[in-house]
Amino acid sequence: MNEKRIARSIALLAMSAFVPIATAQTYPTKTVRLVLPFAAGSAVDVLARHYAQKMSEQWKQQIVVDNRTGANGIIGMEFTAKAPPDGYTIGMGNVATLAINPHLYARLPYDSVKDFAPVLLAAEINNCLAVHPSVPVTNIKELIAFAKARPGQLNYASGGVGSAQHIPMEMLKAMTGINVLHVPYKGLAAAFNDTLAGQIPMMIPGLATALPHANSSKLRILATTGAKRAAATPQIPSIAESGVPGYDFDSWTGFLLPAGTAADLVSRVNAETLRVTRLPETKDRLSALGFALIGSTPAEFGEYIRANIARIGPVVKAAGIKPE
């Protein structure tokens, strides 16, 4: 009898060893939820919906985009972190939710490193420094001189404390010595609309958001925020080449699964998101919106997150932003 029990146990163990592989081979068999801690209509939302469409076509299963906004992205990120690790909840994170928030919140309900299985770094997002046309400057050097002549008199808008518009301006302040005041809004749309209306003189929005308004002379883009010029606007200089050497703060976004998701499922989702990233139509559509497509392995994205957390810490500290 003991021998039969041992043989049965060995057989069960052997069968269980093939379960993850079988899961990956048949996945997905039902609707997949793609959770965004960003508002509908945002740049990342456009990217996410493109990926969702292409993945749905390939997998023959619906990918539902779920915009769970609020609290600097915490609501959506926590939802993803606590979802079952079965591959049916995919999340998207960005520089704010994964690298900035850990320095802003003493009791963040998720750990950017421990609570997620990185899947793929999808793209960097080109940002720009834009001013209302009423501001009498045409480049970064002129803005710095204009601000230094008026310490504390100029404001800039952002989508909230610790947002992807707040931190890069604080970096610029630290590197140039200008004194401009932060006006945080409860979301990017309101901040951008007030800048567009001239209620606030400047901000750092996404290049894709600002460009149509710059083309119609409703905004003036002074420079982009990456280490080099954006591919979509080679005629616009970077802040780094405009008198602030070393400045580099573009946003980025990528796909995540809850921690504990089987490695084969992580590989399956990575392979599919990488396939979409490399489609010519993905490049044609998203590059024009200011996305610099990347694609990565899960390990590379994990290292990228950790490196950004370390890089942004000193910026938050220099800005005097205290954890809440």
On whether both 132 and 230 belong to a single domain, the answer is: yes
Residue at 8 is within a domain: no
Same-domain pairing of 134 and 212: yes
pLDDT for the residue 18 = 46
pLDDT in tens, 111-141: 999 999 999 999 998 899 999 999 999 999 9
Domain assignment of residue 196, yes or no: yes
Residue 1's pLDDT is: 46
- The reported pLDDT for the residue numbered 323 is 62
Whether 119 and 258 share a structural domain: yes
Domain boundary among 242, 270, 289: 242
> In the prediction, which pLDDT does 19 show?
45
CATH number at residue 212: 3.40.190.10
Residues 104 and 138 placed together within one structural domain of the fold: no
**How many separate domains does the chain show?**
2
Residue 150: which residues within 8 A CB-CB, separation 6 or more?
Answer: none
Query: Residue 290 has what pLDDT?
Result: 79
Residues 217 and 286 in one domain: no
Q: Residue 276's closest CA among 91, 84, 10, 52?
A: 52
Tokens linked to 248: 């580099």
Its pTM stands at 0.82
Does 10 map to a domain? no
**Same domain assignment for residues 111 and 134:** no
Residue 9 falls inside a structural domain: no
Q: Are residues 147 and 119 located together in one domain of the fold?
A: no
On whether residue 22 sits in a domain, the answer given is: no
User: Does some domain include residue 65?
Assistant: yes
- DSSP-based three-state secondary structure for 21: helix
CATH code for the domain in which residue 271 is found? 3.40.190.150
**Residue at a domain's end among 242, 259, 294:** 242
Range of the domain at 207: 128-242
Q: Calculate the dihedral angle through the C-alpha atoms of 248, 250, 255, 260, rounding to the nearest 10 degrees.
A: 40
Residue that finishes a domain, picked among 219, 242, 265? 242
Going residue by residue through the chain, which has 324 residues, state the pLDDT in tens, using 9 for 90 and above: 455 554 555 455 545 444 444 466 789 999 999 999 988 877 788 899 999 999 999 999 999 999 998 888 999 999 999 999 999 999 999 999 999 999 989 899 999 999 999 999 999 988 999 999 999 999 999 999 999 999 999 999 998 888 889 999 999 999 999 999 999 998 888 999 999 999 999 999 988 889 899 999 999 999 999 988 988 889 999 999 999 999 998 889 999 999 999 999 999 999 999 999 999 999 988 987 778 899 999 999 999 999 999 989 888 887 777 766
Q: Do both 133 and 68 map to the same domain?
A: no
Instruction: Count CB neighbours of 64 within 10 A.
Output: 12
Same domain, 117 and 254: yes
96 conformational bin, left if phi > 0, alpha if psi -120 to 50, beta if neither: alpha
Q: Is residue 299 part of a domain?
A: yes
